[in-house]
Every structure is written in C-alpha cells, then in structure tokens.
C-alpha cells in the first residue's frame, strides 16, 4: 500500500514516509492508492469480536506491511485502552461516546496511534535525528497530542494555540505536562496558528529540523478514527434499520474516516456533517462553490475552522463527483443559540448531558432524519461536557462532577511561551 499526494505532484510514499512527512512535498494531503473492502464475514461477525481485533483488521492494509503483525497489534492495544460506549438517548437515537480516553476528547485515539507509530519508526534512530511534531490546535488536538506523545523517544512536540480561545481545561491539558511537550500561545486565531504551521513546513530555512504534523492531515491520526464507526455498529442491537451517522465537524477528519469505514464495507446509509456557523461545507453543498472563510469563534470551539483541511479527501472518496457526494453525505450548520437550545432539550427529555459539539451533531442528525422514519441515528459525542464546563453549567443550570483525568491537571502550573508572528515561531524552532 502506497500513498499519493492529492496535489499529484509528488512521488508516492510508503506509510512511514507519509507519517513522518505529514504533508507531501507538493503540499498535498496523502491518500491511500487503493482501498480493499474487508470480507463480508468480518462485518457480520463484528458483534463477536473484541475492539482490538476489529481495529487491527481495519487499519492493517493502511500500514502497508511496514509494521509486523505483532507490533501492530501492540500499537492498537496500547492505543485503545478505554471504552467507546453507545448510549441510547431517544428511540432509535444514540450517542457514541468518544471521550473516555486520557484527555476526554475523541482525538486521543488518533494521537495515541500516531505517537506509537512514530515511536516504532524511530526505534533504531540515533538521538541526533529527532523529529519535531508541530501542531496547531483549536482546543482539543493540543491536549490529545500532548498526552499521546508524552515521553515518546526521539520526538519533540510543539503546540500552537490561539490565546484566549481555548477553554481553561483545554489550556491546562496542553501547558502542564512538560518533558518533550512545549506550548506556544499565539496572539491570533486558530487559522493564524494553522497558517504558521503550514508556513513552517514549507520554509527551506527549517528543512534541517525534520518537522512533521500531528493534525488530522497526518494519515496516522486520520485513519484510526475509522475504529469508532465499527465500534458503534458492533454495539447496535438492532441492525435491521438503515444506520445514519452524524459527526460534529471542524476539519472534517473524523467524518472522513467514517466514510473510509464505509468503503471498507461497514453498512452506513448516510453521513451527516454538522457544523457551527463556520459553514464552508454546508454552503458548498448548497451552492456548488467552495469558498473558505476566516474562522469565527463559537461555543463549540474545536470546530471553529473556516477552511477544513480534510474536505479534499472526502471529495476524493466520492470521485470528486458532487452528485455522488450528496447522495451519501449532507451537511448543516447551527448557531450557538440553536446549540444551547439543543443541549437544554436533550437534557430535559432524556437527562443526557451533551457538550456543545455533541449537541451540534445531534441537531444535524435530527434535521436529516426529520422526514425519514424507520432509521437508526448515531451522533458522535466528541468531548466530555466537563471540557466545556462554563458553557454546560451556564446552559443547563446544573453542575457536573469533575472526572479524575481532569482533576489531575487542575492544580498544575501552566507553562507556555507567547508568540505573535511567524518569525517568532521560526526563531523559536531555530533556537532549540
């Protein structure tokens, strides 16, 4: 299995090359050259298989034979050390909870898988060839990457986050770990952070630094997110109805992985990408014009993305055919007010506490299912509500207990460096 660049101006890369580079030399995203569906018997048997077995089989072809079976199994087992419960919320509506990992956001799985792959590829390297993982975060990526990469040999992690635009808990998760993790607080927006990271990758002056990305452009972060969709399907008691997944989306990596799970044979009827007012994709489905915009700040801040980097992969999965895309994929956007209303309604009718991202997913699911009875709907709960404590408590008028993973970072000191421009970032990287 090789990966090609979606800009089609670079040589193909092996899995390890794609993981270490992040982005292809022509700045394109890597995409697998072929996808072989899993045997129908495997899908039928899902119920009887453990999570590790399912994940190993789903990811195996994408590692291109570069990680021996026993090592890959170890990586999968190390990555998936927590549960992914499917929780009934209403008749035929379920929340798939992806927040039971160490940083309580779904990005833990991708970050942990990628860290373990890089650790494996680095196992024989000398210390003078360190890799620097450079990552921009709108909130949750930073914490998941910090936790996933903490202590990995030969890997330095530098995280950029927009000042004042991440929650207190999110900031603590990425500024309190120390060791090989450094946090840079950027005077700007998430898009500014992402632009700086992209500029650094293209900067010849930094080429000696072996930079790689741990954003979902990296195939080792993107692809393991397929697992969730298999785990959800496995837990469904009644598999006779059509299954619809709604995914709260920002960079569109998670939903893109779901579509890939569909390519592997998972029977998914339809995908719904739900966004906040950062509505580049819903607008595109509506008008046929793809027009990236500057991101706007919302209460679902992990989705404040104006130019979703993975959408190009979704288009490729549908052969760049808008009609085909629309027949399996819908996208709707919601304001903060609608999101808060949904949080209240879900809580009132079922007692379930959704975080703002999950609530956006729920809204998208309900909108799609409105005139389509007899289907099973699953929305992804991408973060624990405690990560958005102020918003959740303020909206629902109820307190939430602080889980121990979060308690552990609450009294630690935040350590970060402040930067404002790309030149500051470059100087910081050169000085290390």
Ligand X SMILES: *Cc1c(COP(=O)(O)O)cnc(C)c1O
| Interface positions with ligand X (CB under 6 A) | 105, 107, 140, 216, 248-254, 302-303, 357, 382-383
Q: In whole angstroms, how close is the CB of 5 to ligand X at the nearest point?
A: 20
Q: Measured at CB, which residue is nearest to ligand X?
A: 140
- Nearest Cα neighbor of 375 from 362, 386, 365, 361 is 365
Quote the least distance from Cβ 97 to ligand X, whole Å. Answer: 12
Residues 6+ apart with CB under 8 A from 153: 119, 122
Residue number with CB closer to ligand X (10 or 137): 137
- Phi, psi for residue 167 in degrees, rounded to 5: -75, 160
Give the nearest distance from C-beta 268 to ligand X in angstroms. 17
Residue carrying structure tokens 């950062």 = 278
- What is the closest distance, in whole angstroms, from the C-beta atom of residue 354 to ligand X in the complex? 11
Indicate the residue among 216 and 280 with the shorter CB distance to ligand X.
216
Residue from 306, 372, 373, 298 nearest 335 by CA: 298
Name which of 107 and 209 has its Cβ closer to ligand X.
107
The residue among 98 and 429 lying less far from ligand X, judged by its C-beta, is: 98
Q: Which long-range contacts does 405-410 make (Cβ < 8 Å, 24+ apart)?
A: 405/102, 405/103, 405/104, 406/104, 406/169, 409/169, 409/172, 409/173, 409/176, 410/169, 410/172
**Of 107 and 116, CB closest to ligand X:** 107
146 vs 164: CA distance, rounded Å: 19
Catalytic residue among 2, 27, 44, 107: 107
User: Distance between CA atoms of 25 and 21, rounded to whole angstroms?
Assistant: 8
Q: How many CB atoms lie within 10 A of CB 82?
A: 16
The residue among 80, 27, 17 whose CA lies nearest residue 50 is 80
Q: How far is the CB of 69 from ligand X (least distance, A)?
A: 28
107 flagged as catalytic: yes
E strands of 92-237, at which residues?
93-97, 131-136, 155-162, 181-186, 211-213
Q: Comparing C-alpha atoms, which of 120, 15, 121 is closest to residue 62?
A: 15
Give the residue numbers annotated as catalytic, written as ranges.
107
């Amino acid at each position: 299995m090789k990966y090609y660049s979606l800009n089609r101006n670079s040589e193909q890369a092996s899995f390890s090359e794609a993981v270490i580079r992040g982005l292809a030399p022509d700045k394109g995203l890597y995409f697998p050259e072929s996808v072989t569906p899993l045997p129908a018997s495997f899908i039928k048997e899902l119920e009887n298989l453990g999570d590790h077995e399912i994940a190993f089989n789903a990811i195996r072809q994408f590692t291109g034979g570069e990680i021996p079976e026993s090592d890959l199994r170890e990586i999968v087992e190390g990555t998936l050390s927590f549960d992914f419960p499917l929780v009934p919320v209403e008749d035929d509506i379920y929340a798939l909870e992806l927040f039971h990992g160490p940083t309580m956001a779904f990005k833990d799985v991708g970050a942990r898988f990628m860290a373990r792959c890089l650790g494996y590829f680095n196992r024989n390297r000398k210390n003078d060839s360190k890799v620097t993982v450079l990552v921009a975060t709108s909130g949750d990526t930073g914490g998941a990457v910090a936790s996933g990469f903490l202590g990995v040999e030969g890997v330095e992690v530098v995280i950029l986050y927009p000042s004042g635009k991440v929650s207190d808990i999110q900031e603590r998760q990425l500024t309190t770990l120390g060791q090989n993790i450094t946090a840079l607080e950027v005077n700007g927006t998430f898009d500014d952070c992402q632009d700086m990271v992209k500029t650094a990758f293209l900067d010849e002056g930094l080429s000696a630094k072996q930079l790689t990305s741990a954003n979902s452009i990296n195939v080792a972060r993107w692809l393991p997110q397929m697992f969730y969709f298999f785990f959800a399907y496995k837990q469904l008691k009644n598999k006779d109805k059509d299954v619809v997944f709604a995914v709260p989306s920002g960079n569109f990596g998670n939903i893109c992985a779901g579509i890939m799970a569909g390519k592997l044979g998972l029977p998914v009827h339809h995908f719904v990408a739900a966004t906040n007012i950062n509505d580049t994709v819903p607008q595109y489905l509506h008008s046929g014009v793809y027009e990236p915009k500057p991101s706007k700040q919302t209460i679902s801040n992990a989705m404040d993305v104006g130019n979703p980097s993975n959408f190009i992969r979704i288009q490729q999965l549908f052969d760049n055919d808008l009609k085909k895309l629309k027949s399996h994929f819908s996208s709707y956007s919601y304001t903060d007010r609608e999101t808060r209303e949904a949080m209240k309604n879900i809580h009132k009718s079922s007692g379930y506490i959704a975080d703002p991202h999950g609530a956006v997913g729920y809204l998208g699911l309900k909108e799609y299912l409105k005139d389509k009875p007899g289907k099973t709907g699953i929305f992804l709960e991408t973060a624990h509500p405690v990560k958005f404590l102020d918003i959740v408590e303020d909206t629902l008028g109820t307190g939430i207990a602080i889980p121990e993973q979060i308690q552990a970072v609450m009294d630690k000191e935040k350590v970060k460096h402040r930067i404002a421009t790309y030149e500051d970032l470059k100087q910081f990287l050169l000085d290390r």
